[in-house]
A and B are shown apart, each in its own frame.
Chain A
Amino acid sequence: MRLPIAAGLATAAVSLTLYPLFEGGAWFWASMGAIVVTAAIGMGASRLAAPPWAAPPAMVLALGVYLTAAFTGSKAWIGFIPTKDSVALLGELLGGGFDDIQRFAPPVPANTGITLLTAGGVGLMAILVDLFTVRLRRAALAGLPLLALFTVPAAVLTDPISWPAFVIGAFGYIGLLVADGRERLGKWGRAVFVRRARTVTADAAPDTGRLALSGRRIGVTAIGLAVLVPALLPNLAPAPLFSFGVGNGLGPGGGNIGIPDAIAELGGELRQEANDTVLTYTSSDDLPRYLRIYSLDVFDGTKWTVNPLRGRPEDRVSEGPLPPAPGLDPTMPVKRAETHIAISDDIRTLRFLPLPYPATQVAADGDWRADRNSLMVFSTDDEAAGLDYRVVTGEPEPTPQQLDLAAPDSSGRRYLDLPPGLDPRVAGLAQRVTEGAETHYQQAVKLQEWFTKSGAFTYSLKASGSGGDALSQFILTDRSGYCEQFASAMAVMARMLGIPAKVSIGFTGGTKIGDVWTVRTHDAHAWPELYFAGVGWLRFEPTPGGGAGQGTAQVPQYTLPVTPTASPSPGASPGASAGADDATGDAAPAPRNPREIDRDLGGVPIVADPGMPLLVKIAIGVAAALLILLIPAAVRLSSRYRRRRILDKVAFAVPDPDVPDPRVGDSDADLIASGEASARKRRRAVTADAPVRVAPAVEAAWAELCDLLIDFGRARRPGESPRALGRRVTETLRPDPGTTASITAITSAEERRRYARTVHGPAPVAVDLKRVRQALAAAASRKRRLGAALAPLSTLLRLRALGEKALDGFDRLENIRLVAGRSRGGAGDMADDTAGNRAVTVRDVQENGSSQERSLTGSRS
């Protein structure tokens, strides 16, 4: 009866882990409703003893009714009976939900469609769990649907699932298993198998609590290990399943880093009185470069924002080159440069790196990750303040011809979205301004020219606002503003013309002071980037530069109107200066290897730690595993060596007898018979005054012999005395007389050590053990020999014994608890006992008194 409830609880617990996927809690309550409905049907089916096959269809029906009532109640008959309309609406909502899920990155808004989808999915999982647990009685298998549920957030989210959520989910599953075990055992009158029960108490009531206690304990231990071990193991750190630090998803936003209101800050920075140094940099070609921090690609009519970023662990900049720049054709010649950037210590919280675009490699300390779409590099853990890092860029140097040829492709479509309600005059103006341009590129150039020259725009920091009206106002009437307005206006107009565009925020190239380029607060800047297939994103500069504009803003070379005589101001065009590079690049547009380090950089190639290659990692892992596997062999070798040393020490410490060994005991008769003279000579007669000294040697020899036998699969049996052991070994091995004598020497010495008054007679020597080992190895198969050398069973057994001891410790702990619990509930149990039950109890006590290890069964009849 409890089982359906436990199944529902388990599903509910695991579905909690879905929380980072959604905004708001609507999905949760809807899902809980679905679980409650299915669990109720499950309980009903169990109570009515319905056939197992009947329950799942009934649950599916009930789930359908529930979803109808909850989501399409208005169209349903008396609120919950599905009708044609309601089913149609449900389908529509589902379709919408699917679309939304495709569209949104998590956390997705909890709209009706998505909530419906979630509730339905969780409900289906609940049915599956119930099917496995209650109907098929395979509770362990119910872990599969639960795992599937758990996998959803784990697979979709880049950020780890927070460990408390995992723990709750795991407890749900354990609860399910415990409930199942309880139910299973409850059907028996009493079946208690207590591992080595030494102190089974007289109370033999059919009590599954004890087992459940063990089960829970094992479960808790397992969960604890599952959470702690990955956290403790450094190797697992790159992709932790559960996070502890920043961005563990406990806060809103589901672990995604938010971008500060970049635009608002930008204006603030530009208006600041103080013009502090933000960063300094040097570059291999000593040219200024715009340093981009944010790339805003969503325009909502009032402001530019960014899609949620994805910083996957594999896109960590320390893992190797950055993802390829979007849209950049690998065959396009690029100009490589290395920039060394040092960020000021005083800068406030900055979790994004200012980088020239497009960066191919970044060497920075800390956990910096690149977003694949925008190549923004950010961190959830580290801050940029004081950071010193190096960047390699590969800037495309397209010719106007190439740009003219750039056909629009599908990947840029996302960057054409414009909200409805924009002033249509702006679009008209855009068309007008670019009249005569035949290609997107020419349109873009005309647009930029209009902003900077023909449009009569003035630069003013006084302009305010960035709303939808403010934008059209700026374009149509005011024509006065600063970089933000210019950038935003050009990007919007480019989108209107069908050119994918976005707004980037960062810094201009700054001013050269001494040997370094210095970027200050007033160099904060915004600019549009336009997309051309094959070239990728190109920076445009609509903001006026120079004294009347933003001082350090520069118009890129490729955006200037094509005039063969045009001579750009020196240093102002990054593309033109690197002549040699240009020439080779144009002459031979050979496919370039994105991983290639540019040899022209002059300096030391950047050492962005590429991380270890996968193969090396695997090799190291395998080697480590092998080393761990070889630990028993090493332990075995060391114990063998230690024993041999003991033997040698004793052999030389005991004085050499003048007379031959005294023949004591019948075992020595065998020795004579064997005619084994040399070993006997080495064997020292041990006299009555030396038992203490010789005992360790005997003990060591015996221990080694036992271990050898275990290793070679002829382990000593519990009821076997040393003598019997020696007899068995010699009978089965049939070794040469020398080895027989050696075996006898060891066993009879051990026999005397154990049972005689004094250790008396010859002591074994190292040669004896060597002979025995050789004889055993000769008789063993190759596999066995290898096993004895690499994975000696004797050591493994010893390790297992250690483990058993640990378990014994747990048992003792458990007994303490049980005794305490028992004394409380004892009276009630006794009252329930029937006479027959008590008789069983008495019998059990007798049996327990006489045996240590037994499975006790009795019936309650």
Chain B
Amino acid sequence: MAATPDVTDAETRLETLVDTADRIRNAIESVIEGKSDVIRLTVTVLLAEGHLLIEDVPGVGKTMLAKALARSIDCPVRRVQFTPDLLPSDITGVSAYNQQTGEFEFKPGPVFANIVVGDEINRASPKTQSALLECMEERQVTVDGETYRLESPFMVIATQNPIEMEGTYALPEAQRDRFTAKIAMGYPEPAAELEMLDVHGASQPLDKLDPVATTAEVRALIEAIRAVYVSQPVKKYAIDVVAATRQSPDLLLGASPRATLHLVRSARAHAALSGRDYVIPDDLQDLAVPVLAHRLLPSMEAQGQHRRPEQVIDELIRRVPVPDIK
């Protein structure tokens, strides 16, 4: 076979990647039944160096998903329960006076972990929310003039409850924009729920979950994904799709340039997870709803017709022509 070493190398890297990602997915799936799409998207976001917003009713396994992901990669995971009285320093950490040394010493907050689970993020005050969101974007924490780098990989999995209205501070659109994707867990299938009863009745499956990858491996995966090829037509397609949201009469607010960035980045991960070293429009199409929907504000007309941004995006995807080579 006349393949060049480059190609072979890329192929092996891709195979390793798919292999590792599959292991992580399988591990999570052993804990959460029947949610392979959600799990796949979670892994995609992890590999795309993004953050995930899970919006769903309580008790469908949001926290379980986050924990399972964290445990399967053998990395520190911190969980923050957001409450109205939570302070920014409760997230980032504080400088405390050490009487022995006579110096102020930085006590890292829960954000100093590879995976941070922010439960019910919309219950915290906007000030605290923004503190977390700043960490998400900057991947660093500045306390008392000192800047501390966060771990890599760093992923925030925030959950929020759509029903609870009292005492919540809905994330403003600027904050929502920082999450790469928003997913809804959804109720499990009856069969999956039955199995869950069987498994969870006996023991806590999370305890049995052994790490299947190391942080170093995940870092390598992230590195590999950056090398996934995005052709010019696909880039143009991403821009077209995002631009279409800005022009749609059904949307008051379209997606930001950051959304384009997130879309392409997660599409890379999505392609790699499919064993491809190049992105195709289908990757973007699959990701458009989770990546874009939470950033959009429907117009009054669309709200009046009970059209959700998800529907609008589906329509746009059908309409925006898939680009050919020029």
Contact = CB atoms under 8 A, between A and B. Distances in A.
A227 to B, nearest CB: 42
Nearest to A756: B278
Given A665-B276, A757-B278, 20 more contacts: A659-B1, A666-B274, A688-B3, A689-B2, A718-B319, A719-B285, A719-B317, A719-B319, A720-B322, A723-B280, A723-B282, A724-B285, A753-B325, A754-B231, A754-B323, A755-B233, A755-B234, A755-B280, A760-B7, A850-B246
Interface string A757-798: 100100000000000000000000000000000000000000
B321 A718 contact: yes
Given A687-B3, A754-B231, A755-B280, A665 B275 contact: yes
Nearest to A724: B282
B60 interface: no
A719 B314 CA distance: 10
Contacts of A721: 280-282, 285, 322
- Nearest 10 interchain pairs by C-beta: A718-B321, A756-B278, A721-B281, A850-B247, A719-B318, A755-B231, A687-B2, A721-B322, A757-B229, A755-B280
Give the interface size bracket for B toward A. Answer: 20 to 34
B2 A755 contact: no
B103 interface: no
Nearest to B284: A721
B280 A751 contact: yes
A657 interface: yes
B277 interface: yes
B101 interface: no
Q: Which of the listed residues B233, B234, B246, B281 has the most CB atoms from chain A within 10 Å of its own CB?
A: B281
Contact of B7 (A685, A688, A718): A688
B279 interface: yes
Contacts of B281: 721, 755
A662 interface: yes
A102 interface: no
22 contacts: A657-B1, A664-B11, A665-B276, A666-B274, A687-B2, A688-B2, A718-B321, A719-B285, A719-B317, A719-B321, A721-B280, A721-B285, A723-B282, A752-B278, A754-B231, A755-B229, A755-B231, A755-B281, A756-B231, A756-B277, A757-B278, A760-B7
Interface of B: 1-4, 7, 11, 229, 231, 233-234, 246-247, 274-282, 285, 317-325
Interface string A304-329: 00000000000000000000000000
Interface residues of A, number: 29
A757 B276 CA distance: 11
Contact of B247 (A664, A754, A755, A851): A851
Contacts of B285: 719, 721, 724
A688 B4 contact: yes
Contacts of B274: 666
Contacts of B325: 753-754
Contact of A718 (B234, B279, B320): B320
A709 to B, nearest CB: 14
A717 B3 contact: no
Q: Which of the listed residues B231, B274, B282 has the most CB atoms from chain A within 10 Å of its own CB?
A: B282
Contacts of A755: 229, 231, 233-234, 278-281
A723 B247 CA distance: 27
Contacts of B229: 755-757
Nearest to A669: B275
A718 B317 CA distance: 9
A145 B60 CA distance: 77
A757 B233 CA distance: 12
Contacts of B1: 657-659, 662, 685, 687
A757 B319 contact: no
Nearest to B275: A666
Nearest to B229: A757
Contacts of A719: 285, 317-322
Interface in A78-111: none
A688 B277 CA distance: 14
Contacts of B234: 755
Q: Which of the listed residues A717, A718, A751, A754 has the most CB atoms from chain B within 10 Å of its own CB?
A: A754
B2 to A, nearest CB: 5
Contacts of A657: 1
Nearest to A723: B282
A467 B242 CA distance: 99
Contacts of B321: 718-719
A666 B281 CA distance: 15
A140 to B, nearest CB: 34
A751 B278 CA distance: 10
Nearest to A852: B247
A674 B321 CA distance: 31
Given A688-B3, A719-B318, A757 B277 contact: yes
Nearest to B1: A659
A666 B283 CA distance: 13
B267 to A, nearest CB: 11
Interface in A793-816: none
B144 to A, nearest CB: 46
A232 B234 CA distance: 51
B216 to A, nearest CB: 27
Contacts of B278: 752, 755-757
